[in-house]
Amino acid sequence: MSTSDSSTARLAFLKSIETNLYRIGGPLLIIFGTIGCLITLFIFKEKNLRKHPCTIYFLAFNCSNFALIYSSLLAVMLELGFNINPSAYSLVCCRLRLYTLLLFDCLSSFYLILISMDRMLVTSINATTRRRSSRTFAYKCVIIGTIFWVLFNSHALFLTERIRISATAFTCYFRPGSYVTFIAFYSLTKSILMPLCMITFGIQTIRNIRSIRRINILHTITASTNTNTFAILSSRDSKLIRTVWIHICIYVVFSLTMTSFLLYDQFTQYRIKDNVQKQADLLWRYVGTFGIYMRYCLCGYVNLLVSDTVRQRIRNCFFWKPIIIQPMSLTR
Q: What is the pLDDT of residues 272-315, one digit of tens each?
A: 888 888 889 989 999 999 999 998 898 878 877 776 666 666 66
- Output the pLDDT for position 180: 86
As a whole number of angstroms, the distance between CA 235 and CA 217 comes to 18
**Cβ neighbours of 179 (radius 10 Å):** 16
pLDDT reported for residue 6: 79
CA–centroid distance for 42 within its chain: 19
Question: Which helix (H) or strand (E) is 227 found in, with range?
Answer: none
Instruction: For the chain, give the percent of residues with pLDDT over 90.
Output: 33
CB 209 within 8 A of CB 123: yes
Q: What is the mean pLDDT of residues 178-186?
A: 89
Q: How confident is the model at residue 220 (pLDDT cuts 50, 70, 90)?
A: low
pLDDT of residue 111: 95
Per-residue pLDDT, 38: 87
Mean pLDDT, rounded, for 178-188: 89
- Residue 320 predicted with pLDDT over 60: no
Residue 226 has pLDDT above 90, yes or no: no
Distance CA 74, CA 59 (A): 21
Residue pair 297/33 in contact by the 8 Å Cβ criterion: yes
DSSP string, 58-115: HHHHHHHHHHHIIIIIHHHIIIIIH---GGGT-HHHHHHHHHHHHHHHHHHHHHHHHH
pLDDT at 229 over 50: no
Lowest mean pLDDT among 23-27, 48-52, 234-238: 234-238
What integer pLDDT is reported at residue 298 of this predicted model? 87
| 34-48: average pLDDT | 80
pLDDT at 236: 63
Task: Output the CA–CA distances (angstroms, integers) from residue 114 to 142, 183, 293, 301, in the order listed.
Answer: 8, 24, 20, 20
Q: H-type helices in the chain, by residue range? A: 3-44, 47-50, 53-68, 74-76, 82, 91-122, 127-130, 135-152, 178-218, 235-267, 275-298, 302-306, 308-318
Split at pLDDT 50, 70, 90, the class of 233 is low
Residue among 38, 190, 21, 25 nearest 108 (CA)? 190
Question: Which residues have a Cβ under 8 Å from the Cβ of 309 and sit 6 or more positions away?
Answer: 328, 329, 330, 331, 332
DSSP, collapsed to helix, strand or coil, labels residue 218 as helix
Q: What is the pLDDT of residue 67?
A: 94
Q: What is the mean pLDDT of residues 56-78?
A: 92
Bridge partners of 174, per DSSP, are 160
Query: Span 136-161, mean pLDDT?
Result: 94
Amino acid 158: pLDDT: 92
Q: What are residue 171's DSSP bridge partners?
A: 163
203-218 pLDDT per residue, tens: 998 888 888 877 777 7
Confidence band (pLDDT; 50, 70, 90) for 323? very low
What is the spatial distance between Cα 231 and Cα 288, in angstroms, rounded to a whole number? 41
Euclidean distance between CA atoms 140 and 130, whole angstroms: 17
Which residue type does 291 have?
G
* Average pLDDT score over residue span 3-21: 86
**What are the contacts of 259-262 at 24+ separation with CB within 8 A?**
259/188, 259/191, 259/192, 259/288, 260/288, 261/285, 261/288, 262/184, 262/187, 262/188, 262/191
Judged by phi (left if over 0) then psi (alpha if -120 to 50, else beta), residue 203 lies in alpha
- In this prediction, residue 314 carries a pLDDT of 64
Interval 231-257 mean pLDDT? 79
pTM of the predicted structure, to 2 decimals = 0.86
Average pLDDT over residues 39-56: 77
In degrees, to the nearest 5, what angle opens at C-alpha 75 toward C-alphas 250 and 110? 40
Question: Does the pLDDT value for residue 319 go beyond 90?
Answer: no
How confident is the model at residue 230, as a pLDDT?
Answer: 47
For residues 102-126, give the mean pLDDT: 92
Q: Give the mean pLDDT of the chain.
A: 83
The predicted pLDDT at position 184 comes to 87
